[in-house]
Amino acid sequence: MKQILILTGAFLLGTMSLSAQSGQEIYMNYCSACHGKKLEGGQAPSLLSGKWKHGETKKAVIQTIKKGVANTAMMAWENMLTTKQIEEVTDYMLSLKKKNKPGTDQKR
């Protein structure tokens, strides 16, 4: 698992652009490995349907990303990402959730 993460990291470093990152790029780089390309889940529960456990307001989501979820694979990102990056990735995740039609993630 650790090796896979290191390999993924090296790959991402190679492909990352120097320009400012959009929420989508941040999501793809740091979050999609666990949450899936479209929040459909994978290593983490799907965030498309149903309520988000730790809150769905922008403020609550930012807090979850900053602090992580204790005793789960969801780490605290506040030392990895800037507040601006966290805000952008939050907007991106919430916009994806909004766009999703209920039940889309049921059939894989």
Q: For the chain, first and last CA: distance in Å?
A: 23
Please select the residue that binds ligand HEC; options are 24, 33, 97, 104, rule is CB under 6 A: 33
Q: Is 52 in the site for ligand HEC (CB under 6 A)?
A: yes
Closest distance of CB 6 from ligand HEC, Å:
13
Number of residues that bind ligand HEC (CB under 6 A): 21
In angstroms, the CA 1 to CA 72 distance is 15
Question: Do residues 94 and 28 make contact, with C-beta atoms less than 8 angstroms apart?
Answer: no
Q: Does 64 bind ligand HEC (CB under 6 A)?
A: yes
Pairwise CA distance, residues 75 & 68, whole Å: 4
Which contacts qualify for 14-19: CB closer than 8 Å, 24 or more apart? Answer: none
Q: Which stretch in 10-18, 71-79, 99-107 sits in contact with ligand HEC by CB under 6 A? A: 71-79
Note whether 53 binds ligand HEC by CB under 6 A. Answer: yes
**Nearest alpha-carbon partner for 31 in 56, 53, 12:** 12
Which spans of this chain sit near ligand HEC (rule: CB under 6 A)?
30-31, 33-35, 43-45, 47, 52-54, 61, 64-65, 69, 72-74, 77, 89
